[in-house]
Each structure stands twice: as C-alpha cells, then as structure tokens.
Amino acid sequence: MNTSMIRFILGSILKIEAVLLFLPVICAVIYHESEGFAFFITAFLCFIVGFILTLRKPKDHIFYLKEGCITTACSWIIMSLFGAVPFVITGEIPSYLDALFETVSGFTTTGASILNDVEALSHASLLWRAFTHWIGGMGVLVFLLAILPMSGGSNINLLRAESPGPSVGKLAPKMRTTATMLYLFYLALTFMEFVLLLIFGMPLFDSICTAFSTAGTGGFGIKNDSIGGYATSIQWVVTVFMILFGINFNAYFFIWVRDFKKAFKMEEVRAYLGIIGTAIVLITLNILHTCENLFQAVTESAFQVASIITTTGYSTVDFDQWPSFSKTILVILMFIGACAGSTGGGIKVGRIVIVMKAFAKEAFSYIHPKSIRHLSMDKNPVKHEVLRSVNVFFDTYIAIFIISLLLVAIEGQGMQTNLTAVIACFNNIGPGLEGVGPTQNLAFFSPLSKIVLMFDMLAGRLELFPMILLFHPTIWKEAFERRYHSKKVKK
C-alpha cells in the first residue's frame, strides 16, 4: 500500500482546512467576536501538522482503489478531529466528543445536532457549522483534485471513493478538469441560491449560511426553528434548490454542453423527480385537513419531501405531529435518498432503479423461462460488476444498519427514537421522529451511541466501504510490511 502518498494527501488536506478556517476568522473580525482567535489557533495547528506531513514528497504517485478508500476515510476523520477543536476552545461546546459529533455531522452533511440553543453560538461558529456542510457536500478530495496537479493516472480512485452512487466516471478526459467542472457547477448553484435568498428578503449572514447548508444538503440552521421563521417565498427558494442539489451533477454537464435531450432523459433524474412529485401529492392530501388552505399544505409537504429525500434535514413544521401515513412516506424517503453524483445521501435513486429493474427482469424470467433480457440504464447495458456492487452495497448496508441499531438500543431509548436516529445518521439526514424529531436534538445519547452514530454518518457519506476498510487487518498488515521493507532497504 502506498502509505507515502496517503500521508502526503492527508497533509495537503490539513493545509486546505487551515485556509478554509480563515473564513470564520474573517467573520469574527467583522462581528468583533473573540471566538475568531480559536479558529485562528486551529488553522495554525492544521497548517503545522499539514506542513510536516508534506515535507517529503512521495516518489510513487500510483495508488489503487484501496488506497483511495483509505485516504478518503482518513481525510474525513482527520478533518473532523481538527474541525471540532474551535468549538472546545471557545467553550461553546465544552465536551470534545460532542464537538466532534457536531463537526462530523457537519462535514458528512448530516445536520444532526447536540445543541439545545443554536442561536447562542457566535456568528463565527454558526458560519463554520454551515461551511462544513458546503465543504463536505461536494467533497474535499474533489476540491484537492481540482486545485492540485496530481500525476499517476489513478486519481479516479479518489473520486470513486468519495463520490456517492453506484458508478462514477469522468465528465472530461482529465480528472482535474472533471473535478473543476463539478466545483464550478456547485459554486454556480450556491451563488444563485444566495442571490435569490437576498432578493426575497433574507438577511446577508442568514443567506450565506443557508446557501452553504442547502448546497451541501446538510441542514444546519442558524435559528432554533430551522427555516420555519422565514417567509413562504424564502421557503420555496430553499425547496427548489434542495431538489436541484439532489440531482445527478452529470445532468448539469449535459445542460452545459447543450445536450438537453440527454440531460432530461436520464432515468435516475426522472425517477427522482417522479418520487418527489408523488410524495408531495400524497402528503398534501393527507395533511390538508390540518392546514388553513391548499397552498399551505403544498408548501409544507413540498418543503419536507425535498428536505428528507435530498437528506438536507431542514424543517418548517414539526412533521413528527403529522398523520402516520405522511410520516411513513418520509421514513421511506429517508432510505431512498437523492441521486448518485449529487450532494445528497441515502441509498440513492440510481441503486433503487437498478434493483427494481433487476426484480422486473427476474420476475419476467419466471414467466418466460426461455427469454433473454438485458438490464439497461439510459439505454446503456448495466455491467455485471455494477449490479454486483449494488447487491453487495445493499447487503452491507443492512448489516451495518442492524448492528448500529442494536448498539444504540443498549441504552434503552424508545424504539422509534433509536430506529429513526440510526436511519437519520446513516442516511445523512439529521432529524428523525419522536425523541430525535425536528424540534429535538441528539444530546441525550450516551458516548457509545454517539460514537456509533458518528461512524454511521461517515459510512453513509462515504458509501460504506472506505470506512469498513479501515478495520480490515490486511490493509494495516500491508502498510506495516511496506514500511518495514523500506527501512530494511535503507539499512
């Protein structure tokens, strides 16, 4: 295993984080807040450690998928470990474990919080919470590929390890160009939402934080009532952009090159929009009697459907008070998630479509045993390895889900609370039902449960396997043997 390349990338990630930490520092200067000093200290610490790790450049730049997975998992963990430090230094979250939980929730775009009073935080800390969503939404390694010229021809392994979905490919011949284009689309959509929020009357600071959180489909709000206190027009702007950020970014590439036919014929995107439309109609009809009029029912249902399926986690109402039918739909949407290649979490619509097609194909073969049918997606054949990876993903997903639920259940919280807490963290959503509903938080969980839920957040955001490989003994055995061999050669 190429440990020198992993070390170098981790060092580069920390130096990038050091630069990013200066945004809350600037915010603290503008609002005359002493909390900015904590972010400055953390930025300095990140830079020093990053500088030490990148002192020696690796001779071998080639790394395979396993190195990509290990690098990705370690990158997100190390970023969270350092990103939690300012909260502890400022005293706004005195417990490091709680601060780490909040930071992991931020970077993984989960939005689950342990804070009782969000509005008590400084402007710098509120901005950092929202900014972690934006950083984690597209992925820090994608950003690294966009700004650093990395040779070796195996950079696709970093993108595959970090990007959500059953398959990841290049939008352009060069990986650096692909990463740059992804971030340009990401920046453009973020800026568009920011401008529209300003136009519809949201204050400047609120608009920046909301745009960051929506772009990353994270859901950290700066108000205790999330988005519920803002005007209906603002809620609709957020609704639309949550849906846009949940769409496969390949569609935006096709629109960019003016191949509109290909963009709007993507089966995953059509299924995604179809699920959203159906869920909105069903919930609207179910909650209509509790609302003043049809428009209010549509507004509330559209916002919550968009928030849950894209795994953003914002709320405008306490949907835990909705009828069971509506809550059941939302729980189903928690599992489905957004499109592959988006900033959303969950299982992904692409996988759901592939599984449903495989089911239809299998059912047809029972009726017509001699028939030969091929599985296709967007008129392209689905390769066997893709179908196999989808099946393995579902098996692994179920196994981790069950183990997590059993571990969280040890402390004896209610079944609905435990179940939806695991669903919400594993699928990077944030709020669940009952004890972890949209008006509650996760502060009451034990340290063990918080560690389990943090693992779920990281595993869910990184598509399971990068986190699982960290615990595989063969990986560490290879790393040890490589290091031992290199020392022996020097002697």
What is the Cα–Cα distance from 193 to 302, expressed in whole angstroms?
Answer: 17
Q: pTM for the full model?
A: 0.90
Residues near 10 by beta carbon (within 8 Å), at least 6 away in sequence: 50, 53, 71, 74, 75, 78
405 touches 422 (CB < 8 A): yes
Mean pLDDT, residues 458-469: 87
Q: What is the pLDDT of residue 1?
A: 66
What is the C-alpha radius of gyration for the chain, rounded to an integer number of angstroms?
22
Residue 352 has which token pair?
């759901």
Where does 192-275 show beta strands of DSSP type E? Answer: none
Mean pLDDT, residues 83-102: 95
Model pLDDT for residues 224-245, shown as the tens digit of each residue: 989 999 999 999 999 999 999 9
Report which DSSP code applies to 377. Answer: E
Query: Given the structure tokens 């669903």, which residue do they identify?
Result: 423
Model pLDDT for residues 154-188, shown as the tens digit of each residue: 455 555 555 555 554 445 545 667 777 888 888 99
The mean pLDDT of the chain is 86
Percent of the chain at pLDDT exceeding 70: 87
- 380/156: higher pLDDT: 380
**Range of lowest pLDDT (81-95, 106-120, 156-170, 347-361):** 156-170
Model pLDDT for residues 65-74, shown as the tens digit of each residue: 677 778 888 8
Mean pLDDT, residues 416-439: 91
Q: 461-476 burial string, b = 16+ CB within 10 Å, else e? A: bbbbbbbbbbeeeebe
pLDDT of 480 > 70? The answer is no
Band (pLDDT 50/70/90 cuts) for residue 342 is: confident
